[in-house]
Chains A and B, each alone.
Chain A
Amino acid sequence: MGPFEILWLAVTLFFIMISLARGYLRELGVTTMIFVSLFVITEFGVKYLPRLLHKGYDLFNANLALRTEQHWIAISLSLFLIFVVFASYAGFNTFAFRGKPLTGFAGFVIAVLVGLLNGYLVSGTLWWLQEINAYPVVDLGVLVLPLTTPAEFMAHYLPQYLVPSMFWAVMVMVMLILRVRR
């Protein structure tokens, strides 16, 4: 299969398309839920899930190999993020910001920016979960290693490497304040 950055770009493009189709005010609701899940993953998920896994394996007197643990962590946290994102799109009344979005070119640019932000956060986090777990997805034959030169460059700019986990919690509060302000 293809290199990592192609998947990253595909996911980001996907979010930009959705943002253009749904309007950026609805997408800001999804952004809020992404912030929530990023906080949960970075502050609790990567810390407590390994302990939980070890406890579970101990219950059955089984030995948890390092590679299996990496697979479990990467898959379960990725599925959690994907589930939260899909849940934010589900139903008629999604968590959206009130008002009418700007139309015309300015509205288009803002929708692209919001889509880009959502795409960067989701695809960046999925990538980061692979990175900190030594790329378990490679064992499934889905993507190939080593990373290409652009991918190595991009890997330095994953959101979790640039932003402390508490920032996501702050952003959730900011989003809620912005949501109820009007």
Chain B
Amino acid sequence: MNDTLLTIFLLFVLGIFAWFGYTRMFLGMLAQFGMLVLAAAVGNPNWLGDTVIRIINRMYMLTDMMLNGGFQLIAGGEFSADKFGEIFAVAKVKPPLIPPQNEEIILFVLMLLLIISSFLIANRIKKKSSLLLGVLFGLANGLLVTYLLLPVLGGGEGILPTLEPKTPMEGVLGVLQLATRTLLAPLAIVFESLGSWAIVVIILAIVFIAAGSARVSKTSANKS
């Protein structure tokens, strides 16, 4: 994907998400943001991906053990460590449900499912909340989805940093870092394009948002 196509794609995604944020408002977008961060974590083997695969494989092995003699042992009252060990040894040598060569595609499918479910969850939240924050969180969600899907579409990286954690703790910190950077990415774009004038824009934005958000009743406005 060349730069022009990439820019058009990015603007298109951001536009859709901003509109979605406007219609679903802040709480819907916040819920979606949480799901998208989870999707990012599950989609990356270094964060939660490996753990998820391990859990699925172990659950499969456990089910297999129960179906191939485990239930009979428990129901028949012949439960002993030796007999259970034998069943475990048989189940252990069987190939896992998700072999290593299929891990990547399974994680990608899981990530896609989580992205889709993030929309469904955002749709279910009907409670009224801030429109402005909804649009801002919508843009952040758009950036996050672009970050997740661009490598697949051949757009490379660059919008957000690629994090390669080595330990689970680094993975958790990486997810938090990704969430923070996604929320701060619009600010970074403003700073990059405006330089030191960005602070003027930010001061004006805070003042106008704060002053404009006040609810003034007609009677109190007439009195003053």
Pairwise interchain contact A102-B213, C-beta atoms closer than 8 A = yes
Chain B positions within 8 Å of A24 at CB level: 210
A175 to B200: give the CA distance in the assembly, Å: 14
What distance in Å separates the Cβ of A178 from its nearest Cβ neighbour in chain B? 4
B133 part of interface (Cβ distance < 8 Å): yes
A13 part of interface (Cβ distance < 8 Å): no
The residue in chain A whose Cβ has the minimal distance to the Cβ of B215 is A100
Where the two chains meet, the residues of B that have a C-beta atom closer than 8 Å to any C-beta of A are 26, 129-130, 132-133, 196-197, 199-200, 203-204, 206-211, 213-217, 220-221, 224
Asked if A98 meets B216 with Cβ closer than 8 Å, knowing A28-B207, A31-B207, A174-B207, the reply is yes
A182 to B218: give the CA distance in the assembly, Å: 9
A25 to B215: give the CA distance in the assembly, Å: 10
> Could you say which of B208, B211, B216, B224 has the most chain A C-beta atoms within 10 Å of its C-beta?
B211
Contact of A171 among B207, B210, B214, B217 (CB under 8 A): B207
> Which of A43-51, A108-116, A141-149 lies at the binding interface?
A108-116
Interface size on A, residues (CB 8 A): 32
Pairwise interchain contact A28-B209, C-beta atoms closer than 8 A = no
Known: A99-B217, A110-B210. 11 other contacts (CB 8 A): A99-B215, A100-B216, A100-B217, A102-B214, A104-B129, A106-B129, A106-B133, A113-B206, A163-B203, A171-B203, A175-B207
Contact of B221 among A98, A107, A162, A175 (CB under 8 A): A98
Contact of B203 among A100, A117, A161, A182 (CB under 8 A): A117
Asked if A25 meets B200 with Cβ closer than 8 Å, knowing A105-B129, A114-B206, the reply is no
Pairwise interchain contact B210-A98, C-beta atoms closer than 8 A = no
Pairwise interchain contact A28-B211, C-beta atoms closer than 8 A = yes
A159-179, CB under 8 A of B: which get 1 and which 0? 101110001000100110011
